[in-house]
Amino acid sequence: MLETDKTPPIEDFPIHDAKELTQGKAQARIVLDGQVYTLRITRANKLILTK
C-alpha cells in the first residue's frame, strides 16, 4: 500500500452476509442516522441499496 493511500485494507472492514441480514427474505431495512434504506437481493442474486 502506498503511503498516500489512506484506504484501510479490506481485512479491517466487518463482513456481513446479505442473506443473514435479510433473514432469508429478499429485502431488509437498514437505518442510518434516522434514514431508512432498503437492501434488496434481486433474482439475479445482485444487491441493490436504495433510500
Q: 10 by DSSP, 3-state: which?
A: helix
Q: Which residues contact 15 (CB under 8 A, 6 or more apart)?
A: none
Residue 4 has pLDDT above 70, yes or no: no
pLDDT confidence of residue 6: 73
| Amino acid letter for position 8 | P
pLDDT for residue 3: 58
CATH code of the domain made up of 16-50: 2.10.70.10
Q: Count CB neighbours of 28 within 10 A.
A: 16
Per-residue pLDDT tens for 8-48? Answer: 676 788 999 999 999 999 999 999 999 999 999 999 999 99
Cα 29 to Cα 21: distance, rounded to the nearest angstrom: 9
- Are 37 and 29 spatial neighbours (Cβ–Cβ below 8 Å)? yes
